[in-house]
Every structure is written in structure tokens, then in C-alpha cells.
Amino acid sequence: MAQKLDPAARTRALADLKGWSPIEGRDAIHRRFTFKNFSEAWGFMTRVALMAEKMDHHPEWHNVYNRVDVVLTTHDADGLTEKDIALAAFMNKVAD
């Protein structure tokens, strides 16, 4: 089972993740991705879904047209872990 990040590790990780922010009152991070159109948003979600399956770590997300809102937390650890940081970094890479 993944271990929750300690406060110092969380601060370091978020400093390196462009666009991601903590969620007040929850041990999770979020980001909104905006694309040119629905097709680009869907393609992003498809690439992320394939990685999420490989990692066995799945995002909470919501898609409306060209926007994808994502929340990451590790439910079985009840908070933010390295899995979330790795998936967030992958999402940033795919979105660029």
C-alpha cells in the first residue's frame, strides 16, 4: 500500500507540478486542463486512462467539451501519495 506524503514531501512535489493545487479540507490535488476542442480533451483522457490502468491508480475527473477537471488522491492511503505525483506529472507531460 502507498504511504501518504509527509508535509515537506508534499510541498516539494507541488512546487514541481505546474498548475496543480491542494484542495482545501481534503488531502488531494486538482488541476483544470483546457484544450482546443473536445477531440483533444478526449485524446488526453484516453492517454491518461491507459497510464492509469498500468499504474492501477485512477483519477477523479470531469469532462465538459474542451475542459478536463482532475482530482488526484490515493483512496486506500486516505491522502496524497507518490502515485498521485507521478500521475500528475504524466498528465502535465501529455497535455503539453
1 pLDDT higher than 90: no
CATH superfamily, domain at 22-95: Transcriptional coactivator/pterin dehydratase (3.30.1360.20)
Helix (H/G/I), strand (E/B), else coil: 69: strand
Looking at residue 32, what is its pLDDT? 98
Could you tell me the residue ranges of all domains in the chain? 22-95
Query: Closest Cα to residue 57, out of 45, 67, 69, 49?
Result: 49
CA dist., res. 24 & res. 65, Å (int):
26
Predicted structure pTM score: 0.94
The answer to whether 87 and 49 are in contact (CB under 8 A) is no
Structure confidence by residue, pLDDT tens digits, 62-85: 999 999 999 999 999 989 999 999
